Amino acid sequence: MELLSSPARAEHLNAPAAAALQPLRVEYSSRGAAAALAARDVLAVLDFSPAMPASTDPRHLQVPLEAGTLPAQCEIWRGNGAVELGAEGALRWSSDGDYAFVALELDEAQFGGIAATAQAAYAQLSAWRSRSATPHLLRIWNYVDAINLGEDDAERYRQFCVGRAAGMDAALTANYPAASAIGVRDGHRVLQVCALAARRAGATVENPRQVSAWRYPRQYGPTAPGFARAMRAPAQPPQLYISGTAAVVGHASHHANDVAAQLDETLANISSLLAAAGSAAVLGGAHSILKAYVRRAADAELVRERLHARLGADTPLLILLGDICRAELLVEIDGIHNG
């Protein structure tokens, strides 16, 4: 009774639909970043096209991942209102009031290694989040140079996980965002972290086929990876942010050296995740927009063909050459599912 008499609570009960945000609009385009950045409603351009002169637009993040199949494409996020821009130290953001794109690029040399750099990045992200009008981090992408370099616990991915955990605030560790951690290979030790934040909280989703990453046993590193398998956006119609998903069943990698079998296992994982999220739509076609990260360039065409065969040729797909956080994994998929 006390809760119901509170005005905020009553408003929520009376108008749940009005509380939902519009879905974020995301598309791939081969027209180049400059054309996309000219549009007023654009919140972010994740630019996977070959390196251009460095950009000063805070909405533009140039990610050094090569296209696996041509043409090279950019990922464009469109908001639903006037876009405001800002910066805070090394962090930059853009927001339409409902959603924000936020990005950080930190030079590891300034922090003394990947763990300290990841800690600094997540501490800055946490500080920004806590003061922002869009404090709820739904989805994070991490681009780490030479991600598999180093043996056992010294592997750079594992050290990244140590630092990430140390930098996250309590709000983040209580509700891990969906995430991807992808290896770039340009030799520049610059950690790139970018995220989608929202004015309202999402709801995390775990996958019954997979051990939650934050519960991975010690054999995978000193600090378990802090991410949720997916995030249900606070949007209507429904939208689901799918974390980087690979051929991990339980906590073990499957199908070493067999990219086709890894891809099928990955799709089984995503189907299971969609079921757990209560999605009414199957993966693919106009409902999904997906990125596949492929370790070996020679596998890129097979991955593209198999995904289009399994999901429909109309599925927006971006194939990127990148490393996956376990050396035996050859392919990983992330994306957004509308449904």
Integer Cα distance of 218 and 78 in angstroms: 40
Q: Fill in the per-residue mask, 274 to 313: x = in contact with ligand 3EB (CB under 6 A), - = not in contact.
A: ----------------------------------------
Asked if 117 is part of the footprint of ligand 3EB (rule: CB under 6 A), the reply reads no
Q: Which of 68, 221, 244, 316 binds ligand 3EB (CB under 6 A)?
A: 244
Instruction: Decide: is 24 part of the binding site for ligand 3EB (CB under 6 A).
Output: no
176 binds ligand 3EB (CB under 6 A): no
Binding of residue 241 to ligand 3EB (CB under 6 A): no
Shortest separation between residue 142's beta carbon and ligand 3EB, angstroms = 6
What's the min distance (Å) between Cβ of 180 and ligand 3EB?
A: 5
User: Exposed (0-12), middle (13-18) or buried (19+): which is 112, by Cβ within 10 Å?
Assistant: exposed
Nearer to ligand 3EB, 254 or 308 (CB): 254
Alpha-carbon distance 333 to 325, whole Å?
13
In the set 191, 194, 213, 270, which binds ligand 3EB (CB under 6 A)?
A: 213
Is 38 buried (19+), middle (13-18) or exposed (0-12) by CB count in 10 A?
exposed
75, 155, 206, 332: the catalytic one is 332
CB of 117 to ligand 3EB, least distance (A): 15
Instruction: Please say if 66 is a catalytic residue.
Output: no
Q: Which of residues 310-329 bind ligand 3EB (CB under 6 A)?
A: 325
CB under 8 A, 24+ apart: contacts of 85-91: 85/58, 85/59, 86/58, 87/58, 88/124, 88/127, 88/128, 89/124, 90/124, 91/124, 91/125, 91/128
Backbone φ and ψ for 306, nearest 5 degrees, come out as: -65, -40
Q: Among all residues, which ones are annotated catalytic?
A: 332
Interacting residues with ligand 3EB (CB under 6 A): 142, 179-181, 213, 225, 227, 243-244, 246, 248, 325
